[in-house]
Amino acid sequence: MANTKKYWKGIDELNETKSFQESKESEFSQSNSIESFLADDQLSESSTGRRDFLKFLGFSVAAATVAACEAPVIKAVPYVMKPENVTPGMPTWYASTYYDGASYASILVKTREARPIFIKGNKYKKDGKHFGITKGSVTPSIIASVLGVYDSERLKSPLKGGKKSSWGTVDKEISAAIQNANKVALISNTVISPSTIDAISELRSAVKGDLEHIQYDAISYSAIRKANELNFGKSFIPSYDFSKAKTIIGVNADFLSTWLMPTEFAAQYGETRNPESDSGWMSKHFQFESVMSVTGSNADYRAMTKPSEEEAVLKYILAGLRGMTGTIPSNLKKEADLAIKSLQEHGKESLVVCGTNNTGLQQLVNEINDQTGANKFTIDLYNELFMFQSEDEKMMNFVKGIESGKYDVVLFYNSNPVYSFPKDSLKKALKSKKVKVTVSLNSHSDETGSLCTYNCPDHHALESWADYRPKTSHYAIAQPTIRPLHDTASALESFLVWSGKVERGGKDSTVAYDKIKETFSNLSDADFKMVMHDSCVDLPQPMFEDTISFSKKNLEPMPTIGKGVEVIAYQKSAIGAGIHANNPWLHELPDPITKVTWDNYITMNPVEMRKAGYKTTYDQENGLSMAKVAVDGVSVTLPIYPLPGQAPGTVGIALGYGRGGNGEKIGKSAYQTAEYGGYEVSKNGKPKSIGANVFPMLSTDNNEFYYSNSGTLTKVDGEYIIAATQIHHTVMGRHSIVRETTKEIFDKKGKEAYNPAHTLQTLDDDLNHVEKPVSEFDIWDAHPVENVGHRWGMSIDLSSCIGCSNCLVACQSENNVPVVGKDEVRRGREMHWLRIDRYFASDEEAAVGTKKNKDSFSYDQAEIAALNPKVVHMPMMCQHCNHAPCETVCPVAATTHSNEGLNQMTYNRCIGTRYCSNNCPYKVRRFNWFNYPSYKKFTEINPAQDDLGRMVLNPDVTVRSRGVMEKCSFCVQRIQATKLKSKIDNKKVEDGSFSTACADVCPTNAIVVGDWNDIKSEIRTSSESDRSYQALEEVGIRPNVWYKVKVRNEQNNLLSKLQVEKKSHHGSNNKHH
Amino acid sequence: MQKEAAIREPLILGHKTYHDITEDVCRPIEDKAPKMWYILFGIALIVGLYGVGCILYLLGTGVGVWGLNKTIGWAWDITNFVWWVGIGHAGTLISAVLLLFRQKWRMAINRSAEAMTIFAVFMAGLFPLIHMGRLWVGYWVLPIPNQFGSLWVNFNSPLLWDVFAISTYLSVSLVFWYIGLIPDFATIRDRAKKPVAKKMYTILSFGWSGRAKHWNRFEMVSLVLAGLATPLVFSVHSIVSFDFATSVIPGWHTTIFPPYFVAGAVFSGFAMVQTLLLIMRKAMSLEAYIHTKHVEYMNIVIMVTGSIVGTAYITELFISWYSGVEYEAYAFLNRATGPYWWAYFAMMTCNVISPQLMWFRKLRRSLLFTFFISIVVNIGMWFERYVIIMTSLHRDYLPSSWSMHYPSPIDIGVYIGTIGLFFTFFLLFARFFPVLALNEIKSILKGSGQSYKESPDYHKNH
């Protein structure tokens, strides 16, 4: 039986039916061979009909065309193994710390699928205390630094003689050179990392001879330390607390943006600028400065002060405090007298700071602060700032030392002195090859790096472990948020390797981590993890009872400024000293005051410029005049920019520009791009650098880097078209846009004085003329967002807004806003969703937005900013109008209103008529004029065109294509995420759980966002404040954004007359009816 | 045949017979084209093709090749659009409104004016298309059923009304024009000797046989279409003006716009008709049919509409002051005295002052002067649109966004290109189509012909 087992495929096969037999035969039919088929005569006769042929032809052409139209598919490769703690689509946040030698902040880094894409300040609190000393404040350059990770021109491996090498080779050679050297110099910016300092001492001990560590910061604060050494017996920088200062006096100190620790000061200052604060007081801020700075633009009183007058101002104030009368130039007397009065009134609750790097001046400041008592109140002498330890004198000696062949090996770590050292002397010294081995640990082959024998690139800060001790009372840790992208190595590790202590660890090296852990060896593992989690830990402040006391010393020499135009080298908030000169976001960030992008320029007061025959107006076709500034034989030729408020007799030029002019590879966006892509080429055949470098102009008198000097200004033929985002500077007395009042009026008078509702005339039931507020007129059906579900709203306090521009960069980073470059900005096509409108007051206005006299108001004069104007910064973005004019005019309904009050933009539906933009009263819509992510014009500058650069894009936000409109979405992706999270947690969306990118990074919390329908929310309260108004309320578009009246703590008689009079006028009107 | 008062100037000069009319109109079509035609056609074609090149570059690169910016979303593009639409208006007015009012002088000019309308609307329609950021999805403005999640157009948007207004206008004008052409094509067909031409005109003439029934239907259809087209004369430019009038931008948001735009359109349209016909009558020896009286009639229309436009300008200025609205007041102050004062000055001079000269009989009967003024008016009307669109946008509410507009070479290229294309079409029309409504003209020969008027018995002998 077993042998007869039979398998069949069907009943037919089993039964061997006839039909099965037949079909089996013909399974592979041979009846019609190919030959016979082809030989068949009938085949040629049965030709395909013409019609059929055409049909096939037509079909194939159509099919081929359709197939060719298919968009290229870029595949997203999913994780094969899901990494722990990474959920695709969900961000992971890391608490970390930022330090680049110039600024310091406790930050939060947002990563998506293991890519850092957004940086903001750490505003969270634990047990009522902030994480870190910066309380969540950041600066534009810190936010933008995330782009640096993906800079495709960072060095990708160690270099030897400019050629690619390996760590094995360079380590061997460098170790040998260092260990056998008689004299090694390590030039770095200030190192505040205890572990790195340790590693440097390890390295020192490995050197045969001696290692000299010179800390050199591009911007030096050595004078403060020196003055303190003289006055307090200790070289240190104390902690300043602006939040306790009722009188603030700044002398050429841009403390809100560039001076010392703006990340600390901006928030502190913001606390004192709220006219509605519980304490009831508001600081009174005097600023004596030459170039209008962010800080000066916020001052209650600002006096145009030349650098040569600083001494007089400080001495006059000091004399005034001591009950004597000094001498002072008459133009400064009014403000100085008021300042003295205010200082006397507030005593120790005051703070005087001076940004000038001159020991004598700093001594005067110390004396004033001692006189008022501020040294023991707003200044904490015991909590020392360890940053900015630049030793100017040592550095100058070092340069001389190189020339004399003193050093065998020179290491440059986070320092680019070839660019920033005055007089160009270091470059010559290095080029002369007196030093056998030079090593740069900088991330780029920059001005210094390109002259070095070896380049041993450090990780980007977001790739590496680091620890910092910025202050006596504070430790912080920076943790990596991405695995190193390139074959780079932590500098900390390099130092240890070269001292022969450890082996290279490769990409997943734990050397730095281990070293830091060792530094924290007194902590338990769990505690260390907690520190890492928090990114920082506060140390108990050692209690010294009055061990530091002030003693008066003879004043060191004051700066000597010769006759001629006084030239001030200042820092712009975005570019600073030029560390981020390759960052396109920062280049395209309009300067908070001039609104100029992508350039530095000579600033001069327009009143003076008109006299001297320079052009004071400009636009996309009309350039500014060129001028040459020469100081001590060093000259630069730059466009000359009309900056109101610039002290007459002075000009300012920003530092940090003119980098990479010799073809150094410092980053793709660091050069001027040509109109149709590629770079502009300078005479030496290298890409043209952006702006001009003024570091060579710095004075080194008194062995200090001094940032002002005297020089000559000469007109040069030619014009230069500047790329500014704002070419009109005043608000033309338009009260429904900007409202301003004084603290006095605000305290004493009601809303109708300083913030009257806009009224329209109408008839009441008895046919009498009555005035009713605009809100009572409506030709539309009310949008059903009030009291139903959510209604997202925003309030912006013009009093707190200091114009720092953090919000702008954060928005660009969060929303993938394209970078468009200088040429497109010139054409008025920047893409920023959020801009900060900066309005100068004109002579026709009593305050920004308030006409002095309505009847004699001259529009021509109103266009011209005053000599030393008041300034208002007004962040402006989509106002999400409930009766949005843009929505009604779109023919295809691509922009619509959500039932949560958002004005939504549907990119996919947009056909690009731009009608919406035309009809937007706020002009906040931005059109994609080109395909920014691929058009050749933007290859060099738009990160989205770079394989690495595009990793910074936020995957939650669509990258817009050519021909569609875009605008602020209130970070709708964040709203959605918050709503989903609340839903998962099964609770209502809590106030404060949602924030837009701009509000997230606002150091003064001027921007409040939330659900307006939540009657207990901060936004609701804020919007119902007496100070709240809506810009262009009378147009009847019902925005979801409120502004709060700017309050200045000043005496403005004209304004109070106008605002108080107006009130009585209204009153009489009412009586009349 | 209608009797006409003897003191009225004759509409057809000279001793024309029916045959003469046929000969005069058909001659340019049947003869070889003169050298001048080839030269003009060549120039127009080259300019037109240059414009096409600019448009292709625009479509390939992006709207950024124009001189627009974040503040000024429309400038030359929509200016040209409105200008061309406006020019088109004269044709419809002449053929429809004047038909209803039984103005016989229209017969000399209606054919060319209608052709001008159609070509001008072609040019006009081009701009809303190419000004779109994404032309390839431009069909979304049509309310067609779709599978995009049943997305529909936004009926609130004046731009959508434009789509309907312009497309209706174009189709009605085209049909009206073509219906009028049918009997004339038949005449040419009957005379044609070359087989290709004969075949073409046979197709074009739709089998017209000249039977009484055909004429009866022709008259009926013409009347019906005239009735349809008449409201369009007013609606199209009213709707175009809604693009601006319904907005919130000071200088745009003006209730006076619809009548003001219609008057302006007729004004510029007649000017363009003058420009074209004054050349054509000379080039094609049609002086007998289009003569001083026709020109005078048209100049009167220009004078009247020009005065309406002037009144509108002054009303606008008055209201801007009277309204007490800060933004409105500034918008008009800025127009007149701001950076674009020269455009406003050009507009005022060309459109307000120049038509007033037509009060002088001598001037309005001067052909040379008329030609000059017709060009001036068209320049003025271009500036009117530029002033309205651009100066309102460049300084609106927030001074921070105030901006200037500078046209790019592509802006200029596209505009010049459309003029080239327009003349290319018009020259082709003049070469191959009967430029006068010859069969209609014949109907007034005995009523308004000079010979018949001077000797009422003339027809008995001829």
pLDDT recorded at residue A13: 79
Q: How many CA atoms lie less than 13 Å away from A607 in the CB half-sphere?
A: 14
User: In this complex, do B397 and A891 lie within 8 Å of one another by their Cβ atoms?
Assistant: no
Residue from the list A918, A935, A1035 with its beta carbon closest to the beta carbon of B393: A918
Q: Which of A891, A917, A963 sits opposite B160 (nearest CB)?
A: A891
Which DSSP string corresponds to B312-380? Answer: HHHHHHHHHHHT--HHHHHHHHHHHHSTTHHHHHHHHIIIIIHHHGGGSHHHHT-HHHHHHHHHHHHHH
Selecting from A892, A915, A963 the residue whose C-beta is nearest the C-beta of B63 gives: A963
Which architecture, in CATH terms, is A569-724? Beta Barrel (2.40)
Q: Measure in Å the smallest separation between the Cα of A1046 and chain B Cα atoms.
A: 17
Closest CA to A643 of A1014, A992, A302: A302
Question: A914 and B393 in contact by Cβ < 8 A?
Answer: no
Q: Domain of B393? A: 18-456
Per-residue exposure over A196-212, b if at least 16 CB sit within 10 Å of its own CB, e if not: bebbbebbbebbeeebb
Q: How many CB atoms lie within 10 A of CB A531?
A: 18
Residue A1006's pLDDT is what? 93
DSSP A11-38: HHHHHT-HHHHHHHHTTT--SS-HHHHH
CA-to-CA distance for A592 and A582, rounded, in angstroms? 19
Contact A922, A876 (CB under 8 A): yes
- Cα–Cα dist A1043/B252, whole Å: 27
- Asked whether the beta carbons of residue B67 and residue A827 sit closer than 8 angstroms, the reply is yes
A463 in Cβ contact with A491 (< 8 Å): no
With H, G, I as helix, E, B as strand and everything else as coil, classify residue A536.
strand
- pTM value is 0.89
**Average of per-residue pLDDT values in chain B:** 89
Give Dmax (Cα) for chain B: 80
Q: Give residue B321's identity as a one-letter amino acid code.
A: W
Residue B62: which of A620, A621, A962 has the nearest Cβ?
Answer: A962
Contact residues on chain A for B142, CB-CB shorter than 8 A? none
Q: Which uninterrupted H or E stretch holds A215?
A: strand A210-215
Q: Which of A4-8, A599-603, B96-100, B457-461 has the highest mean pLDDT?
A: A599-603
Q: Which of B66, B130, B401 to mutate against chain A (most A CBs within 10 Å)?
A: B401
Residue A903 contacts residue A922 (beta carbons within 8 Å):
no
pLDDT reported for residue A1073 = 39
Q: Does A922 touch chain B (CB under 8 A)?
A: yes
d(CA A736, CA A851): 12
Q: Which of B62, B134, B326 sits opposite A734 (nearest CB)?
A: B326
* Count of structural domains within chain B: 1
Q: Which of residues 183-242 of A touch B (CB under 8 A)?
A: none
CB contacts, 8 Å: A925 with chain B: 70
Instruction: Name the residue among A891, A922, A1031 with its Cβ closest to that of B163.
Output: A891
The pLDDT assigned to A45 comes to 62
Put simply, the answer to whether A964 touches B137 (Cβ < 8 Å) is no
Angstrom distance (rounded) from CA A865 to CA A841: 6
The neighbour count for residue A156, using CB atoms within 10 Å, is 13
Token pair recorded at residue A747: 């305290």
Is the CB of A859 less than 8 angstroms away from the CB of B67?
no
Task: Using a pLDDT cut of 70, give the percent of chain B over it.
Answer: 98
Q: Give A-chain residues touching B156 at CB under 8 angstroms.
A: 888-889
Are residues A914 and B158, on separate chains, in Cβ contact within 8 Å? no
A&B contacts, CB < 8 Å: 177
Do the strands A92-99 and A454-455 form a parallel or antiparallel pair, or are they unpaired?
Answer: unpaired
Q: Residues A563, A565, A569, A573: is their CA dihedral positive or negative?
A: positive
The ranges assigned to domains in chain A are 156-213+390-538, 222-385, 569-724, 740-1059
A844, A881, A892: best mutation site toward chain B, by most B Cβ within 10 Å? Answer: A892
- State the CB neighbour count (10 A cutoff) for residue B441: 26
Structural domain A156-213+390-538, CATH architecture: 3-Layer(aba) Sandwich (3.40)
Q: Are the beta carbons of B68 and A914 separated by less than 8 Å?
A: yes
AA identity, residue A949: G
| Separation between Cα atoms, residue A837 and residue B269, nearest integer Å | 44
In this structure, are residues B115 and B434 in contact, taking their beta carbons and an 8 Å threshold? no
Pairwise CB contact (< 8 Å): B152 & A893: yes
Q: What confidence tens digit (pLDDT) does each residue in B294-311 have?
A: 889 999 999 999 999 999
Residue A104 Cα distances to A265, A388, A469, angstroms: 12, 11, 10
Q: Are the CB atoms for A1045 and A799 separated by under 8 Å?
A: yes
Inter-chain residue contact B398 with A829, CB threshold 8 Å: no
The predicted pLDDT at position A69 comes to: 67
CATH number for A222-385: choose from 1.10.3470.10, 3.40.50.300, 3.40.228.10, 3.30.1490.20: 3.40.228.10
Q: Which of B248, B334, B395, B410 is the best substitution to test chain A (most A C-beta atoms within 10 A)? A: B248
Which tokens hold the place of B367? Answer: 């052909």
**A893: nearest CB among B73, B154, B330:** B154
CATH of the domain at B448: 1.20.1630.10
Q: How far apart are CA A262 and CA A804, in angstroms?
A: 10
Q: What does the pLDDT read at residue A22?
A: 77
- Of residues B71, B151, B327, nearest to A828 (C-beta): B71
CB–CB of A876 and B71 under 8 A?
no
pLDDT for res B456 = 62
CA distances from B141 to A291, A506, B76 (A): 53, 59, 22
Burial of B250 (0-12, 13-18, 19+ CB in 10 A): buried
A728 and B141 in contact by Cβ < 8 A? Answer: no
| B72 inside domain | yes
Per DSSP, what are the bridge partners of residue A839? Answer: A872
Rounded Cα distance, A713 and A563, in Å: 12
Q: What residues of B are in contact with residue A859 (Cβ under 8 Å)?
A: 330, 333-334
Mean pLDDT by 10 residues, chain A (1073 residues): 68 79 70 64 66 85 76 73 80 91 91 90 86 88 92 91 89 88 89 91 88 89 90 89 92 92 91 86 92 93 92 91 88 92 91 90 91 89 88 84 85 89 77 84 89 90 90 88 90 89 86 88 85 84 71 85 89 89 92 92 93 91 93 90 93 91 86 87 88 87 83 92 93 92 90 88 87 84 76 93 93 94 92 94 92 89 92 94 92 91 92 93 94 91 89 92 93 93 91 91 93 91 92 91 94 88 49 39
Q: Is A620 in contact with B326 (Cβ distance < 8 A)?
A: no
Question: Which residues in chain A have their CB less than 8 angstroms from residue B159's CB?
Answer: 889-891, 913, 915
Distance from CA of A825 to the nearest CA of B (A): 9
Task: Provide, as residue numbers in chain A, all residues whose Cβ is less than 8 Å from the Cβ of B70.
Answer: 828-830, 917, 923, 925-927
Q: Best of B144, B400, B408 to disrupt the A interface by mutation (most A CBs within 10 Å)?
A: B400
Quote the minimal CA–CA distance from A890 to chain B in Å: 6
Residues facing residue A740 across a β-bridge: A1046
Q: What is the pLDDT of residue A835?
A: 94
Q: Say if residues B227 and B94 touch (Cβ distance below 8 Å).
A: no
- Give the Cα-Cα-Cα angle A136, A532, A474 (nearest 5 degrees): 60
Give the integer Cα–Cα distance in Å for B453 and B44: 41
B201 lies in some domain: yes
CA distance B73 to B83: 17
- How many other C-beta atoms lie within 10 A of the C-beta of residue A767? 6
Q: Is residue B244 within 8 Å of residue B254, measured between CB atoms?
A: yes
Evaluate whether residue B277 is within a structural domain: yes
Contact B399/A915, CB-based, under 8 Å?
no
Q: Is B1 inside any structural domain?
A: no
Contact yes or no for A478/A99 (Cβ under 8 A) = yes
Task: Show residues of chain B in contact with A1037, CB under 8 Å.
Answer: 248
ipTM for the whole predicted complex goes beyond 0.90: yes
CB A104 within 8 A of CB A132: no
DSSP string, A55-79: HHHHHHHHHHHHHHTPPPP-PPPPP
β-pairing verdict for A1041-1044 and A1028-1029: antiparallel
In chain A, residues with a C-beta closer than 8 Å to the C-beta of B131 are 913-914
From its phi and psi, is residue B216 left (phi > 0), alpha (psi between -120 and 50) or beta?
alpha
A892 touches chain B (CB under 8 A): yes
Q: Which residues, in sequence order, are bridge partners of residue A876? A: A835
Are A917 and B73 inside 8 Å of each other by CB?
A: yes
**Residue B11 within a domain:** no
Nearest to B248 among A621, A828, A919 (CB): A919
Element (H, E) at A315: helix A310-321
User: Is the minimum CB–CB distance between A917 and chain B shorter than 8 Å?
Assistant: yes
The residue to which tokens 């008109």 are assigned = A610
Chain B residue with CA closest to A594: the answer is B400
Q: Which residues of A99-135 are buried (b: 16+ CB within 10 A; e: fewer)?
A: bbbbbbbbbbbbbbbebbbbbbbbbeeeeeebbbbbb
Name the nearest CA neighbour of A738 among A801, A677, A667.
Answer: A801
Q: How far is B344 from chain A (nearest CA, A)?
A: 18
Antiparallel, parallel or unpaired: β A159-160 and A454-455: antiparallel
Amino acid letter, residue A227:
A
d(CA A349, CA B105): 92
Give me the residues paired with residue A219 across strands.
none
From residue B119, alpha-carbon distances to A919, B44, B114, B344, B420 in Å are: 30, 14, 9, 28, 11
Q: Count CB neighbours of A84 within 10 A.
A: 5
The region of weakest confidence among A799-803, B143-147, B192-196 is: B143-147
Does A929 contact B137 at a Cβ distance shorter than 8 Å? no
CATH number of A740-1059: 3.30.70.20
Q: Looking at chain B, which residue has its C-alpha nearest residue A827? A: B69
Return d(Cα A972, Cα A399) in angstroms, integer. Answer: 54
